[in-house]
Homo-oligomer: A and B are copies of this chain.
Amino acid sequence: MIIVLKPGVTEQEINHIVEKIEKLGLKPWVSKGVQKSIIGVIGEEDVLRVQPLEAFPGVEKVLSILKPFKLVSREFKPDDTIIDVKGVKIGGKQIIVMAGPCAVEKKDLLLEIAREVKKSGAKILRGGAFKPRTSPYSFQGLGEEGLRYLREVAEQTGLLVVTEVMDTRDVSLVEKYTDIFQIGARNMQNFNLLKEVGQSKKPVLLKRGMSSTVKELLMSAEYIASNGNLNIILCERGIRTFTEYTRNTFDIIAVPLVKELSHLPIIVDPSHATGKWGLVRPACKAAVAIGADGLLIEVHPSPEDALSDGVQSIVPERFDALMRELKAVAKAVGREI
């Protein structure tokens, strides 16, 4: 940690800071320059981080040198983490596709979609039983009934299940039915929820908040990891910017950035990242080319009747054609799908 001092800082102010740091058991060194003086502290930066150093008199700014996340960092574990969900491996050579409707509506419909996506190569069924909706007047999901449908359809088709949990009170309920917990973008910093799924053994799909930095995404993963669960799959799903035409801005560079900073696998949700079904196809090709470990795609046979997010869903035929195209791109970058 580097503490940059204000011009005109006094000896007394410098001593005051130095004493504080020494009291914490750390070794500061002071370096006085012509234009600026600084105090450097090399060591357990975390101890210092809890101190509001910028509040000290004479301090201009504090520059951090160490990354604030640990267990999820590439430095902590240099090798890629591969998460094994009942034999389906996420983070390895194979790119895993998770597909299904935005919200679970009827069992028949879910079964139909599941069969289609399975046939085209998907390994995991997605679908929301609890839906975070901006309006209190929108469809909020079927709740436990939806979870039951997901489980039953998964058993019938041989797919695995990923579904969202939104409330700390629902974690054990959802755990009974799902193979992977999904933490939605709006809950990325619902820290109590992160702690709860961190105490489970089941893998967690953690979606990036719509205005979260990659560092914050990794800090939220650190919450899960520090509670004992290292089976974390990160997910880029678009960020909020000034752009128009698309619902979000697909921050594709988050994929190689996460790979550089962390050992965890990262997948992409092109449906939410773009918000328009016509852009899902190109977004998927780019995601595979850049190194995503998986895709989370909304598929619905009649998007115009979907109770949620129909605009960004693709029909099964398009999904099937897309999967074939993606195989070629995957091969070109040394992966398979």
Contacts and interface: CB of A to CB of B under 8 A. Distances in A.
A109 interface: no
A22 interface: no
A289 interface: yes
Nearest to A34: B43
B223 A243 contact: no
A250 to B, nearest CB: 5
A133 to B, nearest CB: 7
Contacts of A239: 241-243, 249
A37 B53 CA distance: 21
A146 to B, nearest CB: 16
A81 interface: no
B288 A223 contact: no
Contacts of A169: 168-169, 192
Given A241-B241, A243-B214, A282-B291, A50 B134 contact: no
Contacts of A282: 253, 255-256, 290-291
A156 B128 CA distance: 49
A250 B191 CA distance: 25
A interface residue count range (under 10 / 10 to 19 / 20 to 34 / 35 or more): 35 or more
Nearest to A278: B260
Interface string A277-297: 111001101111111000000
B52 A219 contact: no
A55 B285 contact: no
* Residue among A50, A192, A289 with the highest chain B CB neighbour number at 10 A: A289
A196 B275 CA distance: 30
Nearest to A68: B135
Contacts of A273: 253
Contacts of A63: 2, 63, 65
A321 interface: no
Contacts of A190: 166, 186-187, 190
Interface stretch (A83-91, A92-100, A324-332): A324-332
A253 B189 CA distance: 26
Contact of A2 (B2, B186, B285): B2
Interface in A211-246: 211, 213-216, 219, 222-223, 226-227, 239-246
A182 interface: no
A172 interface: no
Contacts of A244: 213-215
Contacts of A34: 42-43
Given A37-B42, A136-B226, A253-B273, 18 more contacts: A2-B38, A20-B304, A34-B43, A35-B45, A36-B66, A38-B42, A51-B310, A52-B310, A68-B135, A135-B219, A135-B222, A137-B226, A211-B211, A213-B245, A239-B241, A246-B257, A282-B290, A329-B332
25 contacts: A38-B65, A40-B40, A49-B135, A51-B304, A52-B304, A53-B304, A54-B310, A55-B304, A55-B310, A56-B304, A134-B216, A135-B219, A137-B226, A140-B191, A167-B168, A187-B190, A214-B244, A239-B241, A252-B252, A255-B282, A282-B290, A285-B289, A286-B287, A288-B289, A329-B329
